[in-house]
A and B are shown apart, each in its own frame.
Chain A
Amino acid sequence: MTTAIDIRGITKIYNPESNQPVKALDDVSLTINDNEFFTLLGPSGCGKTTLLRLIAGFEQVSGGEIMLFGEEIENLEPNRRPVNTVFQHYALFPHMTVADNVAFGLERLKKPKNEIVATVERVLTLVKMKHLGDRRPNQLSGGQQQRVALARALAPSPKVLLLDEPLSALDLKLRQAMREELKQLQKETGITFVFVTHDQEEALAMSDRIAVMSDGEVQQIGGPTDIYEHPVNRFVADFIGDTNFLDGEIVAVNDDLVTCRLGSNSMFEAENSGAHKIGDQVTLFLRPEKISLSAVGATNGQDTRPGKVANMTYLGNQAAYTVDMGDGIELTAQARPQENGKLPFAIGDSLAVGFSARALRVLAQ
Chain B
Amino acid sequence: MSDWLPRSAAGRRWLGLAPSYFVIGIFMLVPMIIMGVFSFLEPNPYGGVKPVGSMAAYVKLFFEYDLEDQLVFNPGYINIIFRSFQLSFGATLLCLVFGFPVAYYITLQPENRRNFYIYLVTIPFWTNLLIRTFAWIIILGRGGVIETPLLAAGIIEDSLRMMYTDGAIAIGLTYSYLPLMVLPIYASLEKLDFRLLEAASDLYANRLEVMTRVVIPLCKPGIIAGCILVFIPCLGAFIAPNLLGGGKKLMLGSLVQFQFASARNWPFGAALSMLLLSAVVIMLIFYARAAKKRAAMEGDG
Q: Given A91-B196, A94-B298, check contact A104 B203 (CB 8 Å).
A: yes
B196 nearest CB neighbor, chain A only: A91
Task: Name the one of B196, B205, B218 contacting A108, with C-beta atoms under 8 angstroms.
Answer: B205
What is the 8 Å Cβ interface bit string for chain A, positions 153-184, against chain B (1 contact, 0 not)? 10010000000000000000000000000000
Provide the bound-state CA to CA distance between A78 and B201, in Å: 6
Provide the bound-state CA to CA distance between A153 and B202, in Å: 9
B214 within 8 A of A: yes
* Residues of chain A contacted by B205 (CB below 8 angstroms): 79, 104, 108
Do A79 and B199 touch (CB < 8 A)?
no
Provide the bound-state CA to CA distance between A92 and B214, in Å: 11
Task: Name the one of B202, B214, B218 contacting A56, with C-beta atoms under 8 angstroms.
Answer: B202
Task: Name the one of A77, A84, A89, A138 contacting B203, with C-beta atoms under 8 angstroms.
Answer: A84
A298 within 8 A of B: no
Q: Given A79-B202, A95-B217, check contact A108 B298 (CB 8 Å).
A: no
* Residues of chain A contacted by B299 (CB below 8 angstroms): 136, 138-139
Do A95 and B203 touch (CB < 8 A)?
no
Do B200 and A104 touch (CB < 8 A)?
yes
Do A108 and B217 touch (CB < 8 A)?
no
Do A91 and B198 touch (CB < 8 A)?
yes
* Residues of chain A contacted by B213 (CB below 8 angstroms): 104
Query: Measured between C-beta atoms, what is the minimum distance from A119 to chain B in Å?
Result: 13
B206 within 8 A of A: yes
Query: Measured between C-beta atoms, what is the minimum distance from B135 to chain A in Å?
Result: 39
Query: Measured between C-beta atoms, what is the minimum distance from B60 to chain A in Å?
Result: 47
A69 within 8 A of B: no
- For A, the interface residue count at a CB cutoff of 8 angstroms equals 26
B193 within 8 A of A: yes
Do A108 and B209 touch (CB < 8 A)?
yes
The number of residue pairs between A and B whose CB atoms lie closer than 8 Å in the complex comes to 70
What is the 8 Å Cβ interface bit string for chain A, positions 166-206, against chain B (1 contact, 0 not)? 00000000000000000000000000000000000000000
Provide the bound-state CA to CA distance between A105 and B204, in Å: 6
What is the 8 Å Cβ interface bit string for chain B, positions 257-269, against chain A (1 contact, 0 not)? 0000000000000
Do A136 and B204 touch (CB < 8 A)?
no
Secondary structure class of chain B's binding surface, majority of residues: helix
Provide the bound-state CA to CA distance between A139 and B297, in Å: 11
* Residues of chain A contacted by B13 (CB below 8 angstroms): none
Query: Measured between C-beta atoms, what is the minimum distance from B290 to chain A in Å?
Result: 14
* Residues of chain B contacted by A153 (CB below 8 angstroms): 202-203
What is the 8 Å Cβ interface bit string for chain A, positions 132-151, against chain B (1 contact, 0 not)? 00001011000000000000
Do A58 and B218 touch (CB < 8 A)?
no
Do B298 and A136 touch (CB < 8 A)?
yes
Do B201 and A87 touch (CB < 8 A)?
no
B198 nearest CB neighbor, chain A only: A58
* Residues of chain B contacted by A91 (CB below 8 angstroms): 193, 195-196, 198-199
Provide the bound-state CA to CA distance between A91 and B214, in Å: 11
B301 within 8 A of A: yes
Do A105 and B203 touch (CB < 8 A)?
yes
Provide the bound-state CA to CA distance between A84 and B213, in Å: 18
A137 nearest CB neighbor, chain B only: B301
* Residues of chain A contacted by B218 (CB below 8 angstroms): 94-95
What is the 8 Å Cβ interface bit string for chain B, positions 166-203, against chain A (1 contact, 0 not)? 00000000000000000000000000010110111111
A152 within 8 A of B: yes
Query: Measured between C-beta atoms, what is the minimum distance from A66 to chain B in Å?
Result: 15
Provide the bound-state CA to CA distance between A57 and B206, in Å: 13
Provide the bound-state CA to CA distance between A195 and B165, in Å: 63
A14 within 8 A of B: no
* Residues of chain B contacted by A109 (CB below 8 angstroms): 204
Provide the bound-state CA to CA distance between A156 and B199, in Å: 13
A228 within 8 A of B: no
Q: Given A93-B196, A138-B299, check contact A77 B202 (CB 8 Å).
A: no
> Nearest 3 pairs between A and B by C-beta?
A105-B203, A138-B301, A108-B204
A-B contact pairs, 25 of them (CB 8 A): A56-B202, A58-B201, A79-B202, A79-B203, A79-B204, A79-B205, A83-B202, A84-B203, A91-B198, A91-B199, A92-B199, A93-B200, A94-B196, A95-B217, A104-B203, A104-B205, A104-B213, A105-B204, A136-B298, A136-B299, A138-B301, A152-B203, A153-B203, A156-B203, A156-B204
Known pairs A87-B198, A138-B301, A156-B203; list 13 more (Cβ under 8 Å). A78-B202, A79-B203, A79-B206, A85-B198, A85-B199, A87-B195, A91-B196, A92-B199, A94-B218, A104-B205, A138-B300, A153-B202, A153-B203
